[in-house]
Amino acid sequence: MSSSERDKALRDAKQILMQIARDLSTPRNIRRAARNALRELDNTELSLALRAANAIDILQEVTDDPQIPTFARTAILEAISLLDLIAKE
């Protein structure tokens, strides 16, 4: 994966997570997980791959929540797939 593809994947994942974090129709715990994942992605003390892996862990915890709306689950899974591309490098 080239640097520009990695940057685009990261930018797209962050945009998805920001939309979830700002959507008031999404349950609070899901919004909190999206904010925590964003915070993890912005932690420059770690490598990008490790930050992506940590964000994936945070997001996977909430995908099992029975209260998560379908649109939010789909968006989170999309963000996870983008972050997975980064984490595998």
CATH for 80: 1.20.1440.50
Q: Residue 26 is part of which domain span? A: 3-87
Give pLDDT tens digits for 60-84.
Answer: 999 988 889 999 999 999 999 999 9
The per-residue DSSP string of 59-76 comes to HHHHHT-TTS-HHHHHHH
What total number of domains does the chain contain?
Answer: 1
Q: In 10 A of CB 73, how many CB atoms?
A: 15
Q: How many Cα atoms are found within 13 Å in the side-chain-facing hemisphere of 84?
A: 9
Tell me the pLDDT tens digit for each residue of 10-33.
999 999 999 999 999 999 999 999
